[in-house]
Amino acid sequence: MDIRELEYFVTVSELKNFTAAAHKLHISQPAISKAIHKLEEELGFQLLDRTQKKVLLTEEGVVFLSLAEDILARMAAAQNTMIEYKNLTRGTFRIAVPPLLGAYVFPQLFADFKKNYPSLEMSVIEDGSSTAVDLVQQEDVHVGLVILPPTLTDLHSHLITSQEIVVCLPTDHPLSRQSFLTFEQLKDEPIILYNEGFVLRRIILDEYAKYGLVPRVALSTNQFQTIKALVAKGVGISFLPKNSIKVVNHVTKIPLHPHLFLEMGLIWKPNKILPLACKAFIDFVNEFEYVK
């Protein structure tokens, strides 16, 4: 019992004529005859009554017709669904986005991507960049939009933008008038950091360590807003990408000396076959120009 046979049978049933069905299906009439006979042979009884001039359905034929039509409809529906995936008018993928990037790189990226592919869905998992890397590694997500860690084991990556990290401190802080700051100058300041699992925390602590310093961490959080608010309140100083904070009352941004940069980009697992929607996203990001 073959899809083609069902198709032939349904067409003959519709047209009540073998020859007409053959024309419609662009094959010869004997091909139809053969297929119908094969079907009837297999089922063990006649589906069509050819004793009259017109071809008529037998009672069993009527039953089989409705079953065949249902199967063909579902077959067509399945094909359509898959064509939608192929055409990128349907599809989902999972992306890990740390809050920091979620706050200012991702929205622009996402909006532009949606403009091009309005039907594609993204499932966003928010977590720190370090965790995001693990999620990609374990294939829990397909891609990660992360602060690129210094060492990338065996993942592919694409740099989207590079941001300078600046010191954030309360406007009334004694150091807030400087045009730049060194870690030496900041060594006794209480600092506010992201939690473990966030690359930015790692980077800052590593920088301190470079100068043989161990900062006093006043508090750590995974909330970007919390960090900014705490700095404004004078709880401590912090380090954030220059553009992540546009204008915040009572917070001053001062560059570090030497300058410290943060690279942000997309990572994914090579060799792993990704959803077409995700491939489209990676391709899109490759073309994407981030406007600071």
Compute the distance between CA of residue 225 and CA of residue 181 in angstroms, rounded to an integer: 23
Compute the distance between CA of residue 166 and CA of residue 271 in angstroms, rounded to an integer: 37
* Residue 43 contact partner, candidates its own copies, DNA, none, CB within 5 to 8 A by sort of partner: its own copies
The contact mask relative to its own copies for 122-161 (x = CB under 8 A, - = no) is ----------------------------------------
Q: Residue 64 burial by CB count (10 A; 0-12/13-18/19+): exposed, middle or buried?
A: buried
Which range, of 10-18, 19-27, 43-51, 116-124, touches its own copies by CB under 8 A? 43-51
Q: Does 218 bind its own copies (CB under 8 A)?
A: no
Residues 224-263 that bind its own copies (CB under 8 A): none
Cis peptide, bond prior to residue 258, ω within 30 of zero:
yes
C-beta neighbour count of 135 within 10 angstroms = 21
Residues 73-92 that bind its own copies (CB under 8 A): 74-75, 77-79, 81-82, 85-86, 91-92
Q: Which is nearer to its own copies, 81 or 119 (CB)?
A: 81
Q: Does 107 bind DNA (CB under 7 A)?
A: no
* Residue 33 contact partner, candidates its own copies, DNA, none, CB within 5 to 8 A by sort of partner: DNA
Pairing of the two strands 156-170 and 238-241: antiparallel
Compute the distance between CA of residue 18 and CA of residue 186 in angstroms, rounded to an integer: 90
Q: Does 67 bind its own copies (CB under 8 A)?
A: yes
| Pick from 77, 69, 76: nearest CA to 13 | 69
Compute the distance between CA of residue 19 and CA of residue 26 in angstroms, rounded to an integer: 10
Q: Which is nearer to DNA, 76 or 209 (CB)?
A: 76
Q: Which parts of this chain interact with its own copies (CB under 8 A)?
A: 1-3, 43-46, 49, 51, 58-60, 63-64, 67-68, 70-71, 74-75, 77-79, 81-82, 85-86, 91-93, 271-276
